[in-house]
Amino acid sequence: MFTPEGMTRVLITATKSQMEPVIRELYRQHLFHIEDFVEKDSKEYEGYRIGTPLPAANETSRQLIRLRGITGSFGIREDEDVSGSRKLNSAHLKQVVEKELPLLEQETEELLGKRAKIDAQIKEYEQKIDSLRPFQDVPFDLSLLRGLKMFSVLCGYISKPLSLDVPHEIFSSDTKKGKFITIVVPVKDRPTVDQALLEAQFQAVAIPDEEGIARDRIGFYESQILARKGEMEEINRKLHDIRTRHRDLFLACHELLTADVEMAEAPLRFATTGQSFVVEGWVPTQQLERLKEGIHYATGGKVFVYECDPSEFPESPPVEYRNPGFAKPTEMLMDVYSRPRYTELDPTLIVSIIFPIFFGIILGDVGYGAVLLALSLGLGRVMKGEEVQKLAAILRNASISSIVFGILFSEVFGFSLPWEPVLFSRHLNIGGHAGGHGPDVTGLMIMAIWIGILQITLGRLLGMVNHARQDHGSHRVKAVLANLGWIMVLWGILVMIWASFSMPLMPDLTGMAAVVPGLNLASVAGLVMIVLGVLFIVMDSPLEVVELPTIMSHVLSYARLVGVGLSSVAIAMVVNFIAIGLIIEPQLESLTALGIILIVIGGIVLVIGHLLNTVLGMLGGALQSLRLQYVEFFTKFYKGGGRKYNPFGMKKRFVED
Amino acid sequence: MAEAAAVAATEMTVEMVKASQLGMKALGAGIAVGLTGIGTGLAEMAIGSAAVGATAENKDIFGLVLLLTVIPETIVIFGLVVGLLLLF
């Protein structure tokens, strides 16, 4: 529960003829975490080389790449929701890959090629239309404007009036971009005309290489585009048809080929000699027998499986979580920080309990809790994918806790429930909606401080266990004592405070007999604890002394449980006050037409305000309580940095053996 | 006349003193939250921009940098705590 899955280092060796059956069996079992072989110069590895892929690798990779091209163009993703479809038999699929798939691929590629061609054609026509557009009002054949020897034809836009004192013919039309002119002048007058055109800010437009009247040509090309688009739709329909009919087949083939490629390339991770191969890796200790039996069966006993002593190897074993189902989703939060190392305690279970509680203390509101619960259930129902499911489960637990604390705090959307708060009151006096006596900030604060003290002490205790498990020799004793030292300093400070001040919800030690003036028995005990604690810390590492103030700041940091929570309550009550107290209620006294509109506006303000506060509350509650785990709790004992257990093989979703 | 007015101005009733103290408390709470808010903002400014840059390079560290970004939030929460303790 608090430790990761136990791993055993296993070495498998056999002749090369057994390589394929061994790989197949390892892949099927999905248990063996391969340690990649790296060629080294050391004596033990003399003569070993990295293996070469199985003969089928090339062909299979080629098929896979081709298939990926097709699935990519169909937009088929591997994580697609395929809940309705059944698994396909792998032997049958092999035949499909050999025979049907190439045909399907060819058909698809042809259609895609056609589509690309039509697309290019449409683009070409559109360009032609663009070049013809300026001439759409020109009433004469475009071919007449080209190839003249005695005359120059100039076409383009002018933005200022044009005055010409040489003989010329001009046709002008108004377009969106300005005045478009087509002007014909004798070649000899060209310099004069050019000067005049320059003054009129003439922008030349090339005469398109077309026969006939521009408007007709535009019409022709437009009809062509329409026809091509029709063809394109037909092709798209065919492609869509292929996608719907063969999606499951594509996915299954993809899975099969991916598996085949991974298997074919596995020898690249093996150490090989001329005739034999060696592969090392990790397997969960509980599954070791299953692995051995499977490999022996697959090879007819022609294999040697050896359990190694893990201490001989520099790599630490890969880490697989071992938690009860309840704590499984929280593993995601652990991975965000860092996976635990193999030898250290796995705090997932503790986090999975404390995180929702903190969330509930911050966002203790039945209304918001219910909204978030509905959201998490909806999210879990609609969205697929492991990560989202875990996130939804975390949110679900958190929102249930929020509802529970909402009942204890007697809060629903910033209003109070029909009973007095069981825990401390968080009702503020905003707009007269509160129960009257205001929030019990002192009580809440002290509760938060207590939570901090307890969690930090727990963290340090876990730190003692971790050091006792991981370290060796004199450092082990020192590190354990240093953690004890931190606990003693924390509690020493507390005892000294209790001896000097009397506070609610905290032990009162002020009444103890004074030893010397100003210091009573408890103060002296506290002082001794602090001094001893500091001594223990210094023994391990003198530099740590500068960290002593963090004892105070980390404990006080838990005040955020109250601070963020109260701000969330305040926003909720302010929204209620603005929407109901200031907008809706005054209208209800004497209802008018304008009043009804204002009431609707008030309703909108209410909904948007609470929606915003729900989002804020969720982010605030989640981030702040997560941060308390990561920063205040984990820094006391947790290092992380474990490698993920990544067994060779895959969970088949579409193919059955 | 002027003397009488000056005497009236210096004489404060208990209610006035209480009200003025309440006002001072509210001001103190406001300053505590406001200044610590600015402090947090300044601190998060640098972290946040670095966090966005880092996330752009490697999306996997989003969770971690989100946490690094909220670390200075402690400052404003201390301000909020002081403010609340002043007011209640």
pLDDT digits (tens, 9 = 90+) for A48-77: 888 888 888 888 888 888 888 888 888 777
Task: With beta carbons under 8 A apart, name residues in chain A contacting B36.
Answer: none
User: Tell me, what's the pLDDT at A72?
Assistant: 84
pLDDT digit string (tens) for A277-296?
A: 989 899 999 989 998 999 89
Task: With beta carbons under 8 A apart, name residues in chain B contacting A559.
Answer: 77-78, 81
Torsion angle (degrees, nearest 10) of CA A299, A301, A306, A307: 90
Cβ separation of A442 and B81 shorter than 8 Å?
Answer: no
User: Tell me, what's the pLDDT at A209?
Assistant: 86
DSSP state of B75: H
**Residue A607: φ, ψ to 5°:** -65, -50
Cβ separation of A564 and B77 shorter than 8 Å?
Answer: yes
Average pLDDT, whole number, for chain A? Answer: 87
Residue B87 to chain A, least CA–CA distance (Å): 9
Residue A439 to chain B, least CA–CA distance (Å): 8
pLDDT at A436 over 60: no
Query: Could you tell me which of A441, A433, A362, A440 has the C-alpha nearest to residue A575?
Result: A433
pLDDT digit string (tens) for A7-19?
A: 889 999 999 888 8
CATH code matching the domain that covers A131-219, chosen among 3.90.79, 1.25.40, 2.60.120, 3.30.70: 3.30.70
Lowest mean pLDDT among A103-112, A347-356, A395-404: A103-112
Mutate to test the interface with B, among A560, A561, A571, A631 (most CBs of B within 10 A): A560
Cβ separation of B78 and A439 shorter than 8 Å?
Answer: no
Contact A210, A142 (CB under 8 A): yes
Rounded mean pLDDT, B20-41? 93
Instruction: Taking each helix axis as running N to C, give the angle between helix A57-74 and helix A100-132, from 0 to 180 degrees, rounded to the nearest 10.
Output: 40
User: Tell me, what's the pLDDT at B3?
Assistant: 62
Contact A101, A67 (CB under 8 A): yes
Q: Measure Cα distances from A88 to A250, A262, B47 in Å.
A: 11, 20, 51
Domains of chain B and CATH, by start: 21-87 (1.20.20.10)
What are the residue boundaries of the structural domains of chain A, listed by start?
7-51+270-312, 131-219, 325-439+559-636, 444-557
Number of residues in chain B: 88
**Residue from the list A337, A556, A627 with its beta carbon closest to the beta carbon of B78:** A556
Among chain B residues, the shortest Cα distance to A445 is held by: B81
Task: With beta carbons under 8 A apart, name residues in chain A contacting B80.
Answer: 563, 566-567
Average pLDDT, whole number, for chain B? Answer: 84
Residue A85 banded pLDDT, cuts 50, 70, 90: low
**DSSP collapsed to 3 states, A243-286:** HHHHHHHHHHHHHHHHHHHHHHHHHHHCEECCCEEEEEEEEEHH
pLDDT digit string (tens) for A190-225?
A: 888 888 888 888 888 888 888 888 889 999 999 999
Residue A559 to chain B, least CA–CA distance (Å): 7
A50 forms beta bridges with A271
The answer to whether the predicted template modeling score (pTM) of the entire model surpasses 0.90 is no
Percent of chain A whose predicted confidence (pLDDT) is above 90: 33
Return the higher-pLDDT residue of A81 and A152. A152
Query: Could you tell me which of A642, A31, A36 has the C-alpha nearest to residue A318?
Result: A642
Contact B61, B55 (CB under 8 A): yes
> Angle CA(A358)–CA(A363)–CA(A368) in degrees, nearest 5?
140
Residue A431 banded pLDDT, cuts 50, 70, 90: low
Contact A258, A123 (CB under 8 A): no
Cβ separation of B88 and A439 shorter than 8 Å?
Answer: yes
User: Tell me, what's the pLDDT at A586?
Assistant: 86
Cβ separation of B74 and A557 shorter than 8 Å?
Answer: yes
pLDDT at A349 over 60: yes
Contact A14, A304 (CB under 8 A): yes
The single-letter code of the amino acid at A449 is I
B84 touches chain A (CB under 8 A): yes
A89 forms beta bridges with A656
Q: Say how far apart CA B66 and CA B61 lie, in whole Å.
A: 8
A162 touches chain B (CB under 8 A): no
CATH code matching the domain that covers A7-51+270-312, chosen among 3.50.30.10, 3.30.70.240, 3.40.50.300, 3.40.50.720: 3.30.70.240
**Residue from the list A337, A442, A563 with its beta carbon closest to the beta carbon of B77:** A563
Return the higher-pLDDT residue of A528 and A384. A528
Q: Say how far apart CA A326 and CA A173 lie, in whole Å.
A: 78
pLDDT at B2 over 60: no
Residue A351 banded pLDDT, cuts 50, 70, 90: very high
Percent of chain A whose predicted confidence (pLDDT) is above 70: 97
A630 touches chain B (CB under 8 A): yes
Q: Do the domains A7-51+270-312 and A131-219 sit in the same CATH topology, yes or no?
A: yes
**E strands present in A384-505:** 411-412, 415-416
Cβ separation of B85 and A567 shorter than 8 Å?
Answer: no
Helix (H, G, I), strand (E, B) or coil at A159: coil
User: Tell me, what's the pLDDT at B9?
Assistant: 59
In the block, residue with structure tokens 């305690």: A345
pLDDT at A653 over 80: no
User: Tell me, what's the pLDDT at A507?
Assistant: 86
Cβ separation of A442 and B88 shorter than 8 Å?
Answer: yes
Rounded mean pLDDT, B4-14? 66
A72, containing H or E segment: helix A57-74
Residue A35 to chain B, least CA–CA distance (Å): 24
Contact A55, A304 (CB under 8 A): no
A443 touches chain B (CB under 8 A): no
**Residue from the list A336, A559, A630 with its beta carbon closest to the beta carbon of B77:** A559
B26 touches chain A (CB under 8 A): no
Rounded mean pLDDT, A539-554? 89
**DSSP collapsed to 3 states, A3-52:** CCCCEEEEEEEEEHHHHHHHHHHHHHHCCCEEECCCCCCCHHHCCCEECC
Highest mean pLDDT among A370-379, A417-426, A573-582: A370-379
What burial class does residue A463 get, using C-beta atoms within 10 Å of its C-beta: 0-12 exposed, 13-18 middle, 19+ buried? buried
Rounded mean pLDDT, B52-57? 92
**Residue B21: φ, ψ to 5°:** -65, -40
Cβ separation of A438 and B88 shorter than 8 Å?
Answer: yes
Cβ separation of A559 and B88 shorter than 8 Å?
Answer: no
User: Tell me, what's the pLDDT at B4?
Assistant: 58
Rounded mean pLDDT, B52-63? 85
User: Tell me, what's the pLDDT at A553?
Assistant: 86
User: Tell me, what's the pLDDT at A50?
Assistant: 87
Q: Say how far apart CA B55 and CA B40 lie, in whole Å.
A: 21
Cβ separation of B67 and A630 shorter than 8 Å?
Answer: yes
**Residue from the list A439, A553, A567 with its beta carbon closest to the beta carbon of B80:** A567
B22 touches chain A (CB under 8 A): no
What burial class does residue A556 get, using C-beta atoms within 10 Å of its C-beta: 0-12 exposed, 13-18 middle, 19+ buried? middle
User: Tell me, what's the pLDDT at A434?
Assistant: 47
Provide the chain B residues 30-69 that lie in CB contact (below 8 A) with chain A.
63-64, 66-67
Residue A80 to chain B, least CA–CA distance (Å): 22
A582 touches chain B (CB under 8 A): no
A442 touches chain B (CB under 8 A): yes
pLDDT digit string (tens) for A146-184?
A: 888 888 888 888 888 888 888 888 888 888 878 888 888
